[in-house]
Amino acid sequence: MYIYLLDIKFKIDCSFSLKDKREVIRSIIDYARNSLKISSAGLTDNDMRNFAHLGFVTISNDNDKK
């Protein structure tokens, strides 16, 4: 069994409030869950309006690298 993990921090230039930040993060997380079928969550930097820290994880039985 293989576990794949992605931990990413990035800056959101178009974010002028926490509401703008949540909108951007929500669209990324929804895309990951619905289209890519991977689990994701916001990790830290919740009170900073220009920075985000997201984590993504998925589990697979094979290591197919096509």
Residues 3-43 pLDDT 10s = 889 999 988 888 888 888 888 889 999 999 999 888 888 88
Q: How confident is the model at residue 2 (pLDDT cuts 50, 70, 90)?
A: confident
Determine if residue 37 is left, alpha or beta; phi over 0 gives left, psi from -120 to 50 gives alpha, anything else beta.
left
pLDDT in tens, 44-57: 877 788 888 999 99
| Whether this model's pTM surpasses 0.85 | no
2-58 has which CATH code? Answer: 3.30.70.1120
Strand partners, 8: 54
Q: In the prediction, which pLDDT does 63 show? A: 75
pLDDT at 66 over 80: no
Q: Give residue limits of the domains in the chain.
A: 2-58
